[in-house]
């Protein structure tokens, strides 16, 4: 089949696969929820056991909805393997740790809870350098593997009179006698803690300092200071624990940077304080049950236009306050929740997973979700097959997406030659036919 030059219409029968080709459909699309729903991990560096080496703690949260539970009597068990691989900046393996985790004797309600998870930690002693950390979680029952990776620079915390470790976000702090128990917030979603939260870090004092001031801030991605708190603490020689309390208010959905600067407190005659160490950690705010890809409520509302019923977009856009927008938005998706009694909405996670994929792979001079390819993909999901013709002699570049369940194909033509593929076959009448 060919598409002739200058074609303006083409009648075909109306319609994902994964191979990364010219920002087209690729293997990283996950058709269920956010990948972040299944595995989240946070690498944090602390001073090592000897100079010139840092201890890298890798915290991993594995959500129960990523596991297959087996019923034994009235209770449920699950088992999974975890592997953490460390590679150097050239990709060569440095070290690896593997182990098996088991969950036993859970109630059915606990095993299917979207908010339940297992928190794990493993540690490596590494010289300061840039590394790639790769996480593999393999469910032993279903054999399904889930992977995640990140590049991370291990700092040298053995130099200077004062140093500060990475900043650990905490879900909660409890006190038992004189012992503080801390629970890490591996997700970095501070929106889950509306009443405030703590951070934990270690300050290493190898000089003559006896007190320090920690200035902690929450910054926008452009560097604007949105929140600041000061904490003064006594520091002894060696290792010191530092807890900082944050109580930010009125921060909207979005990505932020949390920073902590350590100032040396000098007597007034020495000329004031000076920054001696600093560290930062990315954080974000999302509502519970929302995918990480939703960063701005107005844009998230605009993106539902493909599935909104008559009058729903007008209702959503009628809100004048953030609270109204949140309520109307959540009501919109609650009406589409297969299980409206839970905050976990598979349809919403699936939809915005498709939006994120479209933005990553179909963005041209417009955001990917606004393109014709993005629209078809978001509404119908991945096609059964994709037939690409980027270099035909007698036609402009075109693609054919086949949807076998619809017995239909969609044709996209790049009229400009710059990768701007436009849909030239009917769409909404076929979509409406499917939903009548």
Residue from 372, 375, 294 nearest 332 by CA:
294
What pLDDT does 275 receive? 75
What pLDDT does 24 receive? 35
Contact 125/53 with Cβ under 8 angstroms? yes
Strand partners, 258: 218, 281
What pLDDT does 435 receive? 57
Domain-by-domain residue ranges, the chain? 35-156, 160-288, 297-435
- Given phi > 0 = left and psi -120 to 50 = alpha, else beta, which region is 23? left
Contact 244/196 with Cβ under 8 angstroms? no
What pLDDT does 291 receive? 75
Report pTM: 0.72
For residue 435, what are its two tokens? 């939903």
Contact 255/282 with Cβ under 8 angstroms? yes
SS (H, E, C) the chain: CCCECCCCCCCCCCCCCCCCCCCCCCCCCCCCCCHHHCEEEEEEEEECCCCCCEEEEEEEEEEHHHCCCEEECCEEEEEEEEEEEEECCCCCEEEEEEEEEEEEEECHHHHCCCCCEEEEEEEEEECCEEEEEEEEEEECCCCCEEEEEEEEEECCCCCCCEEECCCEEEEEEEEECCEEEEEECCCCEHHHCCCCEEEEEEEEECCCCCEEEEEEEEEECCCCEEEEEEEEEECCCEEEEEEEEECCCCCCCEEEEEEEEEEECCCHHHCCCEEEEEEEEEEEECCCCCCCCCCCHHHHHHHHHHCCCCCHHHHHHCCCCHHHHHHHHHHHHHCCCCCCCCCCCHHHHHHHHHHHHHHHHCCCCCCHHHCHHHHHHHHHCCCCEEEEECCCCCECCEEEEEECCCCEEEEEEECCCCCCEEECCCCHHHHHHHHC
What pLDDT does 83 receive? 97
Residues contacting residue 164 through CB under 8 Å, at least 6 positions apart: 157, 201, 202, 203, 204, 242, 260, 262, 277, 278, 279
The widest CA-to-CA distance across the chain, in whole angstroms, is 84
CATH code of 160-288, in short, is 2.70.50.60
CATH topology of domain 35-156: Immunoglobulin-like (2.60.40)
Contact 415/435 with Cβ under 8 angstroms? no
Query: Would you give per-residue pLDDT tens digits along the chain (436 residues)?
Result: 434 333 322 323 222 222 222 233 433 333 333 444 578 899 999 999 998 999 999 999 999 988 999 999 999 999 999 999 999 999 999 999 999 999 999 999 888 887 789 999 999 999 999 999 999 999 999 999 999 999 999 999 998 889 999 999 998 888 777 777 888 999 888 887 778 899 999 999 988 888 889 999 999 989 999 999 999 999 999 999 999 999 998 788 888 999 999 998 764 444 455 778 999 999 988 877 677 778 888 999 999 999 999 899 999 999 988 888 888 998 999 999 887 776 678 889 889 989 999 998 999 889 999 999 999 999 999 999 999 988 877 788 999 999 988 888 999 999 888 888 999 988 887 767 665 5
């Amino acid at each position: 089949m060919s598409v002739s030059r200058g074609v303006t219409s083409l009648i075909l029968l109306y319609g994902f696969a994964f191979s990364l080709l010219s920002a087209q459909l690729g293997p990283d699309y996950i058709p269920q929820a956010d990948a972040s729903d299944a595995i989240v991990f946070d690498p944090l560096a602390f001073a090592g056991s000897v100079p010139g080496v840092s201890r890298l703690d890798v915290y991993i949260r594995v959500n129960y909805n990523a596991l297959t539970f087996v019923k034994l009597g009235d209770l449920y068990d699950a088992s999974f393997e975890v592997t953490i691989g460390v590679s150097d900046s050239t990709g060569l393996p440095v070290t690896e740790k593997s182990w098996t985790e088991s969950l036993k004797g859970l109630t059915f309600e606990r095993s299917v809870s979207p908010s339940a998870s297992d928190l794990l930690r493993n540690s490596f002693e590494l010289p300061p350098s840039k590394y790639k950390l790769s996480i593999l979680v393999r469910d032993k029952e279903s054999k399904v593997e889930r992977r995640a990776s990140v590049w991370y620079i291990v700092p040298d915390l053995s130099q200077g009179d004062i140093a500060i470790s990475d900043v650990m976000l905490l879900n909660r702090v409890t006190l038992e006698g004189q012992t503080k128990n801390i629970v890490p917030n591996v997700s970095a979603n501070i929106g889950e803690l509306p009443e405030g939260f703590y951070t934990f870090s270690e300050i290493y004092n190898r000089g003559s300092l006896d007190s320090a001031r920690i200035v902690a801030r929450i910054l926008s991605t452009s560097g604007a200071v949105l929140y600041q708190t000061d904490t003064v603490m006594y520091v002894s020689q060696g290792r010191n624990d530092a807890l900082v309390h944050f109580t930010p208010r009125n921060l909207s959905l979005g990505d932020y940077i949390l920073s902590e600067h350590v100032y040396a407190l000098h007597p007034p005659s020495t000329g004031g304080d000076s920054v001696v160490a600093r560290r930062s950690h990315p954080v974000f705010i999302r509502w519970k049950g929302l995918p990480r890809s939703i960063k701005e409520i107005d844009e998230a509302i605009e993106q539902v236009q493909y599935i909104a019923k008559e009058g729903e977009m007008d209702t959503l856009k009628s809100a004048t306050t953030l609270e109204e927008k949140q309520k109307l938005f959540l009501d919109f998706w609650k009406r589409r929740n297969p299980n409206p009694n839970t905050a976990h909405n598979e349809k919403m996670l699936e939809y915005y997973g498709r939006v994120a994929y479209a933005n990553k792979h179909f963005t041209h001079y417009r955001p990917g979700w606004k393109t014709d390819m993005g629209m078809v993909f978001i509404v119908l999901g991945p096609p059964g097959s994709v037939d690409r013709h980027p270099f035909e002699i007698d036609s402009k570049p075109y693609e054919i997406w086949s949807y076998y369940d619809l017995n239909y194909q969609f044709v996209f033509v790049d009229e400009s030659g710059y990768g701007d593929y436009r849909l030239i076959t009917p769409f909404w009448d076929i979509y409406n036919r499917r939903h009548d």
